């Protein structure tokens, strides 16, 4: 009985100690300010397209909020910031040659229908390149 209580107290102390070690440090708290949670406040339905050539490929963003969030994430990861361009200029950089096979991806395309109701459709593509090409050529923001 006495032996059992001793073990119980010891494990309680160990749990407490590990708990203290895992408490978020000041450094971890600071890093929160650098994360980009903007995306979660962006409406994917609101359409005001922003065009940007990203790493040599034209990307269409559904609106400035999503574009800004993506830019923030890139800058925090040490990548070059995004720079918006005209649709005409951007479309010169739609993916041209895509493989015909690959890991299938699902494209999700949100929009507001003619009755003003948030809607979406999804289409499967053989790979990400073909999805990007489709969105780029058909002016579909994501």
Ligand X SMILES: *[C@@H]1O[C@H](CO)[C@@H](O)[C@H](O)[C@H]1NC(C)=O
Q: Which residues bind ligand X (CB under 6 A)?
A: 68, 71-72, 75, 81-84
Residue 77 or residue 115: which is nearer to ligand X going by CB?
Answer: 77
Burial of 52 (0-12, 13-18, 19+ CB in 10 A): buried
Give the integer Cα–Cα distance in Å for 39 and 110: 15
N-to-C CA span, the chain: 64
**Residue 85 Cβ vs ligand X, minimum distance, rounded to whole Å:** 10
Which token pair is 100? 């015909």
Q: In angstroms, what is the minimal distance from the CB of 88 to ligand X? A: 19
Q: Which is nearer to ligand X, 42 or 82 (CB)?
A: 82
What SS3 class is residue 3? Answer: helix
Q: How far is the CB of 76 from ligand X (least distance, A)?
A: 8
Residue 35 CB, nearest approach to ligand X (Å): 13
Closest to ligand X by CB, 72 or 131:
72
Minimum CB distance to ligand X smaller for 82 or for 135: 82
Residue (of 95, 88, 93, 87) closest to 48 by Cα position: 87
């Amino acid at each position: 009985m006495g032996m059992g209580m001793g073990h119980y107290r010891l494990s309680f102390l160990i749990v407490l100690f590990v708990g203290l070690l895992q408490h978020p440090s000041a450094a971890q708290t600071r890093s929160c300010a650098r994360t980009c949670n903007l995306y979660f406040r962006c409406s994917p339905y609101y359409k005001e397209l922003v065009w940007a050539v990203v790493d040599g490929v034209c990307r269409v963003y559904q609106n400035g909020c999503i574009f800004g969030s993506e830019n923030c994430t890139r800058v925090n990861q040490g990548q070059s910031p995004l720079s918006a361009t005209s649709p005409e200029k951007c479309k010169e950089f739609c993916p041209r040659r895509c493989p015909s096979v690959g890991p299938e991806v699902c494209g999700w395309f949100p929009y507001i229908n003619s009755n003003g109701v948030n809607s979406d459709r999804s289409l499967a593509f053989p790979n990400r390149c073909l999805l990007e090409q489709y969105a780029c050529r058909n002016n579909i923001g994501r």
